[in-house]
Structure 1
Amino acid sequence: MLELSIYQNLGTRFLIPPEYNNPTQIGHARRIAALYVIGRFGFSSKTVIQYLLGIRREAINKLFRKLVTDGLINERKSFGSKDGAVYYLSAKGKRFISFETELEYHQKTDTSAHNSKTEIHDLSIQICMINRLLHSRENYTAFVTEKELRELGYGTFGELRNERAVDGLLYLSAGDCKDNCMNNCSDSSKSYSCWHSLEIETSNAKNKRAANNYLRPEILEKYRRQLVAEDGLYSRVLFFSHRERFLRQIAARTDEIIKENALGYTDKDIEVLTASLKYVHSFCPTLYELFWNPDSKLDKDSHIKIDQDRIEQAVALYSVNSSNEYQQGLTDVFRTLGIKHPDIPTNN
């Protein structure tokens, strides 16, 4: 779709902060990344941004306090998130990030309609997409969120209303697309998708087989329509969950539906479905630790015991020592530890 080319060209430009040495630039880049994630996904949490930036919890808390104080984000208390809150762009934050990124964000700034039932599901897919973009062996270079797909009509309105709005899309670079897709992407005469879809399963409801409510065949048919079409939205479906059992059950139900073949799948349909549905078991422990294990922290070694007397001694030496190396070294230490002192300019 031509609409997706906007996100394809955008890539990870604002998601992954550039590597700066200047503390002011580092702080600004982190600020942009946090607001950008919140804006594109609709809302986010401290855990997601910490996973993205890879910095200590103290630095994340400081970043979010500053964003709230400056009126750029709204905090909504949460019973589902281990952080105790989730965050939305404020009207001011929406204007700020729109100016910085030159993108239009279709987002309500009122948090009263927040759906707490799907909160962990929505936060989990953010982690999954960030992980694939930053750490996957495949060269994913861009992403589209479910919110953005619904704004295009998927599962919402128009001719795409009956199509499934998947939890997210990742763009596979052209070099990897040829080896990872069922279709021959090197054929320039045809338009093949290099987008992979992501689905997160946080419950077993869609796998339960009941007389009047069995969703898996309907969902599978929607996948099939996109996977077999030459101009389909995506060419692979990646399943994630915090429980390996849920992924095994999805695979078992899918095999059962294909074997029964009540929907009349052709041999080509079965081949494409079998090859294109992938279950990412290896990421289950990460999701569990981040969102379901109450005793887990993203960085357990983030609390450092600091001797106040030694801090004051270091400050005293800073004021009398004329060595630029000593002053710069102490400034870097204070910034890394997140210590504020009026006599030590941390620029952070």
Structure 2
Amino acid sequence: MQELSIYQNLGTRFLIPPEYNNPAQIGHARRISVLYVIGRFGFSSKTVIQYLLGIRREAINKLFRKLVVDGLINERKSFGSKDGAVYYLSAKGKRFISFETELEYHQKTDTSAHNSKTEIHDLSVQIFVIDRLVKSNGNVDRNSDQYTAFVTEKELREAGYGRFGELRHLRAVDSLLYHPQSDSWHAGEGEFSNKKNLKTPNNYLRPEILEQYRRQLVAEDGLYARVLFFSHRERFLRQIAAITDEIIKENALGYTDKDIEVLTASLKYVHSFCPTLYELFWNPDAKLDKDSHIKIDQDRFEQAVALYSVSSSNEYQQGLTDVFRTLGIKHPNIPTNK
């Protein structure tokens, strides 16, 4: 599609920060990267950005805190993400990143319509897209797995896929990745439940979805030339593969030999990525890296609070107030709003 050429030309610009030696330039580039990711996907989280930038959690926390204080992003509490929050562009942030990238972002700045049910699904898609792009960007051998650009589901829906116009009956896949060697887009589809695989008398989604894939894969001007399935559990991918083989074998949809050949060759299951997503979002025993934790001795903590209450030194009180504010610690006897 002509509408997708802008994303193809963008490549990984603004996504992967340039390498600078100057701290100010590094900080500015990281800010652009965070706002760009949020703008294109609609929202994001600290986990996603840490995966992208590859920096310590402490630095990620500082970066997001600064963006919130500057009024560029809005925080929304999350009950599904281990981060405890997700982030949207504010109206100011939308104007800022639009100016910096010379792109138009169609995004609501109100977070009240946030769909918490699909939150981890959407964040997992972001991780998958970033992994394919960042890993490929550093691949000097330019092998067949290299991708150089992406399109989000949000952007596909804005173009009409699954929503309006001639494209309203076509499936908006979770993401698209541009494959320069074949000069084509590859679809990325996240599978995180069995809902689409369940076969009931009144509802069986997998054949319908497979038919949507087939139409794009066999068409000369199809939107994508391959479908990559990824999940947090290999079991889900194996089930999809088995059900797909069953549908093709029964051939109730009347597939031609060419259709079957294309489907068999173009549906790929990325089993190797399951552990990454599981550890990031589903493993209850997984912990954030040590840089995200601050060890505080309880006795010294209580002594500091007591000294604050009886000390006549304004310098001591102000210093302790600053420490509590920096650490994000709230205590009824220590004001943190001075």
TM-score by length of 1: 0.81
Indicate conservation of the 8 Å contact 1:7/1:142, yes or no: yes
What residue number does 2:109 align with? 109
**Count, aligned residues:** 291
Q: Which amino acid aligns with 1:288?
A: Y
How far apart, CA to CA, are the structure 1 residues paired with 2:255 and 2:291? 53
Indicate conservation of the 8 Å contact 1:290/1:298, yes or no: no
Please point out which of 193, 214, 218 is paired with 1:224. 214
| Gapped regions of structure 2 (runs ≥ 5) | 137-142, 296-325, 328-338
How far apart, CA to CA, are the structure 1 residues paired with 2:163 and 2:202? 23
Going from structure 1 to structure 2, the CA distance change for 1:28 and 1:169 (only over 3 Å counts) comes to same
Please point out which of 223, 229, 234 is paired with 1:244. 234
What residue number does 1:203 align with? 193
What residue number does 1:319 align with? none
| Gapped regions of structure 1 (runs ≥ 5) | 178-192, 306-337, 340-348
What residue number does 2:316 align with? none
- CA-to-aligned-CA distance 1:257-314 (integer Å, 9 cap, x gap): 0001010000000000000000000000000000001222453576699xxxxxxxxx
How far apart, CA to CA, are the structure 2 residues paired with 1:151 and 1:74? 22
Please point out which of 225, 245, 248 is paired with 1:255. 245
Indicate conservation of the 8 Å contact 2:230/2:237, yes or no: yes
What residue number does 1:74 align with? 74
- CA-to-aligned-CA distance 1:62-106 (integer Å, 9 cap, x gap): 000000000000000000111000000000000000000000000
Indicate conservation of the 8 Å contact 2:151/2:175, yes or no: yes
What residue number does 1:94 align with? 94
Please point out which of 121, 124, 146 is paired with 2:153. 146
Q: Which runs of 4+ in 1 moved over 4 A?
A: 300-305
Deviation of 1:51 after TM superposition, in Å, equals 0.2
How far apart, CA to CA, are the structure 1 residues paired with 2:290 and 2:147? 30
What residue number does 1:53 align with? 53
How far apart, CA to CA, are the structure 2 residues paired with 1:102 and 1:123? 25
Between the two proteins, what is the percent identity of the paired residues?
86
1:265 equivalent in alignment to 2:255: yes
- CA-to-aligned-CA distance 1:307-336 (integer Å, 9 cap, x gap): xxxxxxxxxxxxxxxxxxxxxxxxxxxxxx
Deviation of 1:132 after TM superposition, in Å, equals 0.4
How far apart, CA to CA, are the structure 1 residues paired with 2:22 and 2:11? 24
How far apart, CA to CA, are the structure 2 residues paired with 1:33 and 1:298? 22
How far apart, CA to CA, are the structure 2 residues paired with 1:18 and 1:295? 35
How far apart, CA to CA, are the structure 2 residues paired with 1:101 and 1:236? 30
- CA-to-aligned-CA distance 1:237-276 (integer Å, 9 cap, x gap): 0000000000000000100000010100000000000000
How far apart, CA to CA, are the structure 2 residues paired with 1:273 and 1:290? 31
